């Protein structure tokens, strides 16, 4: 008689969970003496099923990365947090281009990664491959950048309506949003 | 970014977020979320690893196509490293002495002032 193989159950390490960013950030800023940040929160979420098969869908890419501006200090791989490189208005760039977008203006994990490869936060090249392979119908003519650093009020009242307006102008049915 | 996804979705555009901060995105509540358990900055896959980036995008596209309802999170099966010790380092308070904390506070005040000036000028 043959015996069937059995896969054993192995537990993961206690700390091997998604990082509790909200708790760590609260503890950190409290230790620094600042008042706690309040993250946006809703009970439910909107839902719009994809209307057409993805192979016929026009998709927009939306990023929080910032256009490189040489005069604004170090924005290269591993650069220290660079508040001068922040931006405060929605921007657009041609999807056909290979834009130079950086993330020195946000709090990425500078201990364990360096942002040396922009494809880790901007999947534009991979999206173009997906279009070429017929997986996606097309990319919108523009990719959009949206600021992360204003108040939630400004995001809701100014930036989001502007993003929607531009998505509609470009006739996109879907969007891939990539926070950095 | 979560707020942007919600606004587009509420106005007829299907969205998917690719991200690394699971608690923050889920706290907000978004239509579809592909979570990569990677250090912040790698929402779209591992550096210099085209296959990992393509796989990450493909999972996001599948979510876009097939999520049955809002607040659907999928976790990428990719691992940053076999050892999860990197997760302990982000804002690790145990490594901060009172002197270090004071230094960080000063740095933060400088950063805030720079951002404020830029914001007001924009």
Using CA coordinates, name the residue in chain B closest to A63.
B1
Name the pTM for this structure.
Answer: 0.94
pLDDT at site A1: 61
Are residues B21 and A21 in contact, defined by beta-carbon separation less than 8 angstroms? yes
* CB pair distance less than 8 Å for A47 and B70: yes
Compute CA distances B93 → A9, A13, A68, B24, whole Å: 33, 21, 32, 20
Q: Residue B84: its pLDDT value, please?
A: 95
CA distances from B110 to A31, A88, B77 (A): 17, 18, 39
Per-residue burial over B31-41, b if 16 or more Cβ lie within 10 Å, else e, is bbbbbbbbbbb
Q: Which residues of B touch A178 (CB under 8 A)?
A: 1, 17-19, 43-44
* Helix (H/G/I), strand (E/B), else coil: B105: helix
Alpha carbon of A95: minimum distance to chain B alpha carbons (Å): 17
| Contact (CB<8Å) B80/A112 | yes
Is A126–B44 a contact, with Cβ atoms under 8 angstroms apart?
yes
Q: Does A132 contact chain B (CB < 8 Å)?
A: no
The pLDDT tens digits for B3-49 are 999 999 999 999 999 999 999 999 999 999 999 999 999 999 999 99
Residue A2 has pLDDT above 80, yes or no: no
Give the closest residue to A113 by CA, choosing from B53, B76, B46: B46
Q: Can you give the pLDDT at residue B114? A: 84
For residue B73 the two structure tokens come to 């999170």
What are the residue ranges of helices labelled H in A33-94? none
Instruction: Using an 8 Å CB-CB cutoff, list chain A residues near B119.
Output: 86, 88, 149-150
Classify residue A32 as left (phi > 0), alpha (psi -120 to 50) or beta.
Answer: alpha
A-chain CB neighbours of B71 within 8 Å are: 44-45
Residue B64 has pLDDT above 90, yes or no: yes
Listed residue (B70, B42, B9) closest to A172, CA to CA: B9
For chain A, the average pLDDT equals 94
pLDDT at B27: 97
> Between B9, B60, B87, which is nearest A48 by CB?
B9
pLDDT digits (tens, 9 = 90+) for A18-77: 999 999 999 988 888 888 889 999 999 999 999 999 999 999 999 999 999 999 999 999
Closest by Cα among B57, B65, B58 to B31: B65
Buried b (16+ CB within 10 A) or exposed e, A43-59: eebbbbebeeebeebbb
| Paired sense of beta strands A91-94 and A58-63, if any | unpaired
C-alpha dihedral over A33, A34, A40, A41, to 10 degrees?
30
Please report the DSSP string for A90-141 in residue order. -EEEETTS---EE-TTS---TTT----SGGGT-THHHHHHHHHTTSSSEE-S
Of A45, A115, A134, which to mutate for an interface test with B (greatest number of B Cβ within 10 Å)? A45
Q: For residue range B88-104, what is the model confidence (pLDDT) as tens digits?
A: 999 888 888 888 888 88
């Amino acid at each position: 008689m043959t015996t069937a193989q059995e896969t054993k159950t192995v537990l993961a390490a206690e700390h091997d969970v998604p990082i509790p960013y909200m708790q760590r950030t609260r503890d950190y800023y409290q230790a620094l003496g600042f008042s706690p940040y309040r993250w946006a929160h809703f009970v439910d979420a909107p839902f719009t099923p994809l209307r057409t098969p993805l192979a016929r869908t026009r998709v927009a890419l939306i990023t929080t990365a910032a256009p490189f501006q040489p005069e604004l200090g170090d924005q290269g791989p591993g650069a220290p947090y660079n508040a001068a490189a922040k931006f405060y208005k929605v921007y657009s760039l041609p999807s056909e281009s290979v834009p130079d977008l950086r993330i020195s203006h946000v709090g990425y994990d500078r201990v364990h990664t360096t942002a040396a490869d922009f494809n880790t936060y901007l999947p534009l090249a991979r999206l173009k491959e997906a279009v070429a392979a017929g997986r996606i119908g097309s990319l919108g003519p523009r990719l959009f950048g949206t600021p992360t650093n204003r108040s939630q009020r400004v995001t809701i009242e100014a930036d989001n309506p502007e993003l929607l307006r531009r998505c509609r102008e470009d006739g996109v049915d879907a969007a891939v949003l990539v926070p950095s | 970014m979560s707020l942007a996804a919600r606004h587009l979705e509420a106005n007829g555009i299907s969205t998917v977020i690719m991200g690394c901060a699971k608690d923050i995105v889920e706290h907000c509540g978004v239509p579809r979320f592909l979570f990569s358990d990677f250090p912040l900055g790698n929402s779209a896959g591992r550096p210099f690893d085209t296959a990992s980036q393509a796989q990450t995008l493909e999972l996001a596209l599948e979510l876009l196509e097939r999520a049955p309802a809002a607040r659907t999170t999928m976790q990428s099966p990719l691992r940053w490293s076999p050892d999860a010790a990197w997760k302990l380092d982000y804002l690790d308070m145990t490594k901060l002495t009172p002197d270090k904390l004071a230094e960080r506070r000063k740095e933060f005040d400088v950063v805030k002032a720079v951002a404020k000036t830029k914001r007001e000028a924009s």
